[in-house]
Amino acid sequence: MIRRLYDWTISLASSQHALWALAVIAFIESSVFPIPPDILMIPMIIATPKRAFLIAGIATVSSVLGGMFGYYIGYALFETVGQPILEFYGKDIYFDEFARKYNEWGAWAVLVAGVTPFPYKVITIMSGVTHLNIVVFTFASIVARGLRFFVVAALLWKFGEPIRDFIERRLGLMFTVFMVLLLGGFVALKYL
């Protein structure tokens, strides 16, 4: 099923409605859809590099709006909609412990999930469930999703097809390492 969704998502990149498809994919990926918008963005940018930053902007705005919908799911619909989504991604068993500490580190959680391969949708829902300040959530989402999509767009705009393999296979790891080092530095400063 996931492979068919992936193939369908890739096919949207060459359609005349690709920008609208990207907006929809980025929106629903932030709350429920398992395929990230990068899968659609990459072939779109390779095909039309001059539109790289427009494509990144559409992905960012749509993803942040979708994140707000995920927040709403957690805030208002957790038991009926949010809980099953967390169960699907295997994150429900960690919820109670996570909810207790979430608001202390919530902005960082949104930032980390927004740029790393961790499912951003899990964080959007948990932000709503734990009632993370909506302004903090929105600001962290804009920074995280903007960073992720604009870095991908800039790399593809500058290097084109040769950088594609790096983005698809290693960029998530690079973002993860960067965030671990950044958070580790803040933790070290706090306790040293």
What pTM, to 2 d.p., does this model score? 0.77
Nearest to 5 by CA among 21, 16, 19: 21
| 34 pLDDT more than 90 | no
Q: Token pair for residue 91?
A: 């994150």
pLDDT at position 181: 58
Neighbours of 77 (CB within 10 A): 15
Q: What is the pLDDT of residues 38-88, one digit of tens each?
A: 888 888 888 888 999 999 999 999 999 999 999 999 899 888 877 787 788
Nearest to 22 by CA among 167, 47, 1: 47
Distance separating alpha carbons of residues 89 and 75, to the nearest angstrom? 18
pLDDT at position 159: 86
**More confidently predicted of 118 and 51:** 51
pLDDT at position 49: 87
**More confidently predicted of 25 and 169:** 25
Distance separating alpha carbons of residues 113 and 179, to the nearest angstrom? 10
Residue 2 CA, chain-centre distance (Å), reads 18
Read off the pLDDT band of 14 (50, 70, 90). Answer: confident
pLDDT at position 10: 67
| 17 pLDDT more than 80 | yes
**More confidently predicted of 146 and 12:** 146
Neighbours of 146 (CB within 10 A): 19
Are 121 and 29 in contact, with CB atoms under 8 Å apart? yes
pLDDT at position 55: 95
**Structural domain boundaries in the chain:** 2-191
Read off the pLDDT band of 102 (50, 70, 90). Answer: confident
- End-to-end, the C-alpha distance of the chain in Å comes to 49
Q: What is the pLDDT of residues 140-160, one digit of tens each?
A: 999 999 988 998 899 889 888
